[in-house]
Structure 1
Amino acid sequence: MSSELLDALSLMVKEKGISEDVIIEAIEAALISAYKRNFNQAQNVRVDLNMETGTFRVFARKEVVEEVFDPRLEISVAEARQINPNYQENDVLEMEVTPKDFGRIAAQTAKQVVTQRVREAERGVIYSEYIDREEDIMTGIVQRIDSKFIYVSLGKIEALLPVGEQMPNESYKPHDRIKVYITKVEKTTKGPQIFVSRTHPGLLKRLFELEVPEIYDGTVEIKSVAREAGDRSKISVHCHNPEVDPVGACVGPKGQRVQTIVNELKGEKIDIVRWSSDPVEFVANALSPSKVLEVIVNEAEKATTVVVPDYQLSLAIGKRGQNARLAAKLTSWKIDIKSESEAEEQGIYPSLTLSSEKEDEESDDFRD
């Protein structure tokens, strides 16, 4: 084997990050294939390859048997003992069968098979690298656009941004630099295939992790995310340290942190609310920016009835029901919003006032 080929293989090991064992295995497979094909040999062979010198030897492997049925794969005990008297039945005997004119054919075949194996190994390296980036955020460059996908370069590979994962308020052009969320990494016959998204709620979560040090270091925790990409989103945050304001940390000085994320998402509105284990408080916070008078909880059905001032009913529900819908997604509670006057007509508000009046009456009866 030529020194040039060995040098090229060494370069592949360094540049492509492919194991030398994979390279050696590929060369040995290539030489075995070349030997069998070019010399019409069907026997079991092994190749001994010396990577330092580039030399190789081909050995035919035959099983030692009492009675020979296939001389290409078997050798009799008597013949084997003529070579070495220590051979026993069921041993494997190896004989060198390297053809004198095998070098040129071997080099040609090795080059083809090694190229293929190296390509496969390189795909494996890329797959291993990107499978660890699932549910992570990366910066990519738009390469080209067709009716089904936007092709985004992530460095070593192009990712696919499907039409359904593109934000409705964005237009994309080649060479645009965008942040994308990796949703899936698949192995295919043509190599790894990566799907990315601009609409996934995980993108919003990762953007906050990038912009807010308190989230990155674990001081502040994002508990849930609800998103209607390109229009409006809500996130709930929590901090175990009472001295740290989780909402303020996410908003940042003069709103700089959240504004950076809004700019990345091309003006998408983001509500940041304080998470609570108490559904009354959490649901009330989630309906921000509307004011909530009361939250009545039905634990059995995981549902709530929320009472808001008459003048804030449309704000609480939101345009096309968006605010209520996002709040329900954020809290995982069903939310039925009623105006103050409607709740009074139905006798469900002001329940707290009625309860306190009843307690006062009972107290008066007791005193009498």
Structure 2
Amino acid sequence: MKAEFLEALDEIEREKGISKEKLLEAIEAALISAYKKNFGSSQNVEVFIDRETGEVKVYAVKNVTEEVTDDLLEIDIDEAKKIDPIYDIDDTVRVEVTPKNFGRIAAQTAKQVVVQRIREAEREIIYEEFYSRESEIVTGLVQRVSKNNVLVNLGRTEGILPPTEQIPGETYKQGDRIKSYILEVKRTTKGPQIFLSRTHPGFVKRLFELEVPEIHDGIVDIYSISREAGSRTKIAVYSNEHDVDPVGACVGHRGVRVRAIVDALNGEKIDIINWSEDPVEFIANSLSPAEVIDVTINEEERSASVIVPDYQLSLAIGKEGQNARLAAKLTGWKIDIKSESQAQSNQD
């Protein structure tokens, strides 16, 4: 290796942010293995790369003894004193053993180490970038579908949308542009793995933050979200300013904001309701679009009995109990729903 190689390492340090000294140390460590592989593994050797010229030298490290039993690891005191008179028994001597053709091996080894370290550094940069963006939305192109996993091109890397995080009924074709929620970023030996989700409630939250400036600016806050992906979501919101209607802000003029979110979720229904610190009011709101006549709560059991008009019972419960289930998840209260006539007959 020559000085040009050191200049190349300087450039890598500037462009990639990889320490030149750490690269040289890694190359030296790799060259020890390369030497042992090609010239004998039983020697104890050190490799030194001159930081000014790039010249590579190999030294056998030997222990000074009175009588040599293994000339690969030991040197007698007389030979040691020929190198330097200061040496004594049990000292360590370094004897240069650089092979004639070691330059070629050194160049190949150095290239492999540098390429590997650049790859590792780039993987680390990608990991740090996406790790810092966990719980955010990312847009990518569907690259392919493999074993039901959707692989999404995110630019410099690839994300995985597993079957469990795919919205039921959605199909994904190569080239489709999709938004996803960054669920988790893991370090692996093959580089960072980025797991995506389209079913997580956080995905809906981030979509509202993108579409509703009042949420982004902190004027309107999201209290809670309950979601059955692909079917229905309930979101409870409140305003930090008296003159701002939180539901109206989320719906937007003529429904333009919520429609953009529904489109991003491929038609998933979204109920936006007002949060209230009064649990009676909050529970009544949570059963929207059903009307509620009365709510009785048991704070100890954190349960509520709700009465609705007879003609609203099926709407309040929802198909297969979905509306009631989502309302319970949204409020954190157990909800028992009865029609007006059912409640009356129980009293009788």
- For the aligned pair, the TM-score class normalised by the smaller chain equals 0.7 to 0.9
CA 1:216–1:47 in structure 2 vs 1: closer, same or farther (change >3 Å)? farther
Look up the match of 2:286.
286
Look up the match of 2:237.
237
RMSD: 3.1
SS in 1 for 2:34: helix
1:125-136 alignment runs, 5 A limit: 125-136=125-136
Look up the match of 1:358.
none
SS in 2 for 1:191: coil
Once the two structures are superposed, residues 54-110 of structure 1 have per-residue CA deviations (whole angstroms, 9 ceiling, x without a partner) of 333333444667887765455677765664566677765444433332101211233
Look up the match of 1:304.
304
Structure 1 stretches of 5 or more lacking a match? Answer: 349-368
Does the 8 Å contact 2:64/2:91 carry over to 1?
yes
Counterparts of 1:211 and 1:116, CA distance in 2: 42
My pick for the range that moved more, 153-162 or 88-97, is 88-97
Look up the match of 2:137.
137
Look up the match of 1:176.
176
My pick for the range that moved more, 112-121 or 142-151, is 112-121
Counterparts of 1:52 and 1:280, CA distance in 2: 78
Does the 8 Å contact 1:30/1:114 carry over to 2?
no
Look up the match of 1:366.
none
Amino acid at match of 1:185: V
Does the 8 Å contact 2:3/2:52 carry over to 1?
no
Once the two structures are superposed, residues 164-220 of structure 1 have per-residue CA deviations (whole angstroms, 9 ceiling, x without a partner) of 322234332211111111222233333322221111111111111222223223333
Look up the match of 2:203.
203
The question of 1:56 aligning with 2:92 is answered: no
TM-score by length of 2: 0.86
Counterparts of 1:81 and 1:17, CA distance in 2: 45
Look up the match of 2:108.
108
My pick for the range that moved more, 2-11 or 36-45, is 2-11
Identity rate, percent: 61
Does the 8 Å contact 1:43/1:60 carry over to 2?
yes
Across the two proteins, how many residue pairs are aligned to each other?
Answer: 348
Counterparts of 1:255 and 1:67, CA distance in 2: 94
Does the 8 Å contact 2:60/2:95 carry over to 1?
yes
Shift of residue 327, structure 1, vs aligned partner = 0.8
Once the two structures are superposed, residues 125-151 of structure 1 have per-residue CA deviations (whole angstroms, 9 ceiling, x without a partner) of 332332223222110101112441111
CA 1:101–1:184 in structure 2 vs 1: closer, same or farther (change >3 Å)? same
Counterparts of 1:52 and 1:179, CA distance in 2: 51
Counterparts of 2:68 and 2:223, CA distance in 1: 73
Look up the match of 1:213.
213
Amino acid at match of 1:327: A
Does the 8 Å contact 1:17/1:125 carry over to 2?
no
CA 1:171–1:100 in structure 2 vs 1: closer, same or farther (change >3 Å)? same
Amino acid at match of 1:197: S
Shift of residue 233, structure 1, vs aligned partner = 0.5
1:253-332 alignment runs, 5 A limit: 253-332=253-332
My pick for the range that moved more, 16-25 or 102-111, is 16-25
Does the 8 Å contact 1:149/1:163 carry over to 2?
yes
Amino acid at match of 2:171: S
TM-score by length of 1: 0.82
My pick for the range that moved more, 297-306 or 25-34, is 25-34
Amino acid at match of 2:201: P
1:31-46 alignment runs, 5 A limit: 31-46=31-46
Amino acid at match of 2:98: T
Counterparts of 2:239 and 2:51, CA distance in 1: 58
Counterparts of 2:279 and 2:90, CA distance in 1: 75
Look up the match of 1:359.
none
SS in 1 for 2:227: strand
CA 1:37–1:289 in structure 2 vs 1: closer, same or farther (change >3 Å)? same
CA 1:325–1:88 in structure 2 vs 1: closer, same or farther (change >3 Å)? farther
CA 1:79–1:277 in structure 2 vs 1: closer, same or farther (change >3 Å)? farther
Does the 8 Å contact 2:168/2:230 carry over to 1?
yes
Counterparts of 2:246 and 2:153, CA distance in 1: 35
CA 1:277–1:20 in structure 2 vs 1: closer, same or farther (change >3 Å)? farther
CA 1:26–1:290 in structure 2 vs 1: closer, same or farther (change >3 Å)? same
Counterparts of 1:291 and 1:159, CA distance in 2: 43
Does the 8 Å contact 1:142/1:174 carry over to 2?
yes
Counterparts of 1:10 and 1:325, CA distance in 2: 62
